[in-house]
Every structure is written in structure tokens, then in C-alpha cells.
Amino acid sequence: MASTSRTPEVAGLLERFARGDRRALARALTWIENQQPGFEQLLHATHSGLGRAFRVGVTGPPGAGKSTLTEKFALLCRRHDQKVGILAVDPSSPFTGGALLGDRIRMQDLTLDEGAFIRSMASRGRLGGLATTSLEAADLLEAFGFDVVIHETVGVGQTERDIVSAADTTVVVLVPESGDAVQTMKAGLMEIADVFVVNKADRPGAENLERALTTTLGLKPHDGRDWAPPIVRTVAVEGKGIEELAAAIDAHRSHCYESGASTAKQRARSADRVRDLVARRVDAHVWEWGGGEEILERALDRIRDGDATPYSVADEIVAAVGLDSRSARPGTEQEERG
């Protein structure tokens, strides 16, 4: 089914979605989460609704207080009459999951608010599915009409970093105890941070952490960008520093618009999405429809017995699904056929 085609079911859901039916939004998010047939048609059809919301990524180690901070920031947005959608992505396995879900329960003030929407997503299988699915869910919230879309996740893996780094502004939340970890995280969280939050800043070590951050950032220019990530101290549970955080996010937002970074980021985001979608389709083509899985399964014994190698088997699979690399070079039959 091409992305542009619409079944009656898709059309019906779209109609309710366009009317602002929150249950239709919830249903559509489930479609995306399960990659249910028709979900790409939904996303294609709602794509024209993008480009209006501001996206904030919130990440940091477990226990940093991301959920509380996200809630307080969301409540502040609501006081300014901005509609807020929140997506929490739990990177842990189904067996250890539930931590973020539990945090959701605390967001009582938001769950009863028509101008807010909260959704937790569990991680899915391999093959880069999680990052794309999660970004597609954010698209849907944006298309539904939320002014601010917040993506919250534990910053432990590449997938989670991919998710938050797709935001317009990425907030990295640390706690005084993170001091030792700053060196470790340098290569990871550091390069995606647009704003640092030192949460639980009333605890000992807040100043040390701030100094460690300043030193680290001072030593290494921030990716050649002309934005120096500010450090905001908060005590989220008491609502302290939330206005300052909002101001820092706003400053980064203005900076991005003025420097043209927003446009460039939007373009890069589109390109990344296309690449992810192509990979998803090609993957399904090779492994589900093309028979790659059966060839691989039969070949494993031959590899074990020394009658084949992963290299010759990869050749076989690529040829079997009609992708023999030689036939795709310009000027050959594959090129002319298209």
C-alpha cells in the first residue's frame, strides 16, 4: 500500500483526528506504536500539519528528575495558554519497564487538562524501529495541534539520543551526583545538549557539577556551533528554576530562528526521516517478503560446516531479492527498467 492511498478505516480515523477527537489521537498513536497497516498513510496525510509546534527533548540519567521537571515545565506552558503534548519513551525491556509509566501517574494536573496529552511508549524490537516510531508519534501530536511537544527519555543509548537530538531544543538534566559521570557522558549527552539543567540543586555538589560542566564545555567548543549551552539550576519538586529553564529554552529557540539553524534542522530531519523510512521498507522487503529469512536460516548450517561464509550468503540473499549490486549500477538493465 503506497503512503498516498487511503482505506476507509484510515479516512475515518483522519476525519475524527481533524475534528480534534482525543480518542482518535490515542488510537492513531497506538497504530503507530504497533506499526499497524495504514499507519504510514496516517502520517502522510497529517504531514501538512507539521512545522508549527516547538519540540523540546528532555534527557538525562535515571533518577535525575526528568519527569517532575517535564511536568513543571508543561504546567508553565499551560499557564501561558500553550497546548502541550508529552511523549515518554522507556528504553528498558518489557520486563524492567514501568518506571516511567509510574512517573506518569504523578502528572495528575496534566492528565485532567484538555490542553495537555501524555503518552508513554515502550521500546520496540530492533532495526532502528524505536527512534523512528517515537518521532512519528511526536509528529502526530504536532499535527493534532499541540504548541509544544516534549520528548522525554532516559539518555542511555544511541536510540534515545537520536530521539531527543531530533528536538528543536534538547535539555540535558543532571543532578549533583552526576559530577563523576560528566567525563563519561562527554561523548554522548554533551554533544546534544542545548540547555543543561542541574536539578536537585539544593543538594551538595551542585557547584562542583556546574564547574565540571563549564570546564568540559570550555575545553571543547560545542560542535562548532555558535551557541553556548547555558546551565540552569532547578529544584523541580519545589518548582524552583522552571521560569529560568523556560527562558533558556526560549533563548535557544530565538537563536535557532535567527541563525537559520531551525530551517537547516528541519531539512536534516526530513532527510533523516526519508532514510529511516527507506531502510524500514527495504528491510521488510528483504527479510519479510523477499524470503531472506528462509535463505538465512538454511544457510547457517552451511556456514557452520564451512560450506559457506556470511559473505557468500549475503551475496545470495541480495541476489535472491532482486538486488544484485551489479544490476543496480547506472547503465545496466535495472537502471533502464526503472
Which parts of 45-64 interact with its own copies (CB under 8 A)? 47-48, 61-63
Compute the least distance from the CB of residue 102 to its own copies, in Å.
16
Say which residues have a Cβ less than 8 Å from residue 125's Cβ, sequence separation at least 6: none
> Which of 22, 298 has the CB closer to its own copies?
298
| 247 grid coordinates | 527562558
Compute the least distance from the CB of residue 262 to its own copies, in Å.
12
Tell whether residue 182 is a contact of its own copies (CB under 8 A): no
Say which residues have a Cβ less than 8 Å from residue 182's Cβ, sequence separation at least 6: 174, 190, 209, 212, 213, 216
Q: What is the DSSP letter of 273?
A: H
One-letter amino acid identity for 209? Answer: L
Tell whether residue 30 is a contact of its own copies (CB under 8 A): no
Cβ-in-10-Å burial (0-12, 13-18, 19+) of 151 comes to buried
Tell whether residue 125 is a contact of its own copies (CB under 8 A): no
| 121 grid coordinates | 511508549
Helices 66-79 and 242-259, packing angle to 10 deg: 80
Among 137, 154, 172, 201, binds its own copies (CB under 8 A): 154
Tell whether residue 187 is a contact of its own copies (CB under 8 A): yes
**Residues 165, 201: contact at Cβ < 8 Å?**
no
Compute the least distance from the CB of residue 189 to its own copies, in Å.
10
Tell whether residue 208 is a contact of its own copies (CB under 8 A): no
Compute the least distance from the CB of residue 274 to its own copies, in Å.
5
CA-angle at 198, arms to 197 and 200, nearest 5°: 125
Compute the least distance from the CB of residue 161 to its own copies, in Å.
8
**Residues 149, 59: contact at Cβ < 8 Å?**
no
Tell whether residue 264 is a contact of its own copies (CB under 8 A): no
Among 23, 81, 125, 311, binds its own copies (CB under 8 A): 311
Q: What is the DSSP letter of 96?
A: T
Among 93, 125, 226, 260, binds its own copies (CB under 8 A): 93
Tell whether residue 337 is a contact of its own copies (CB under 8 A): yes
Tell whether residue 137 is a contact of its own copies (CB under 8 A): no
> Which of 80, 126 has the CB closer to its own copies?
126
> 3-state class of 108 per DSSP?
helix
Q: What is the DSSP letter of 331?
A: T
CA distance 5 to 315: 34
Tell whether residue 183 is a contact of its own copies (CB under 8 A): yes
For the chain, report the end-to-end CA distance as a whole number of angstroms: 19
| Residue keyed to cell 533518577 | 63
> Which of 247, 278 has the CB closer to its own copies?
278
> Which of 76, 303 has the CB closer to its own copies?
303
Residues 265-304 that bind its own copies (CB under 8 A): 266-267, 270-271, 273-275, 277-279, 281-286, 289-292, 296, 299-300, 303-304
Tell whether residue 220 is a contact of its own copies (CB under 8 A): yes
Tell whether residue 309 is a contact of its own copies (CB under 8 A): yes
Q: What is the DSSP letter of 63?
A: T
Residues 96-115 that bind its own copies (CB under 8 A): 96
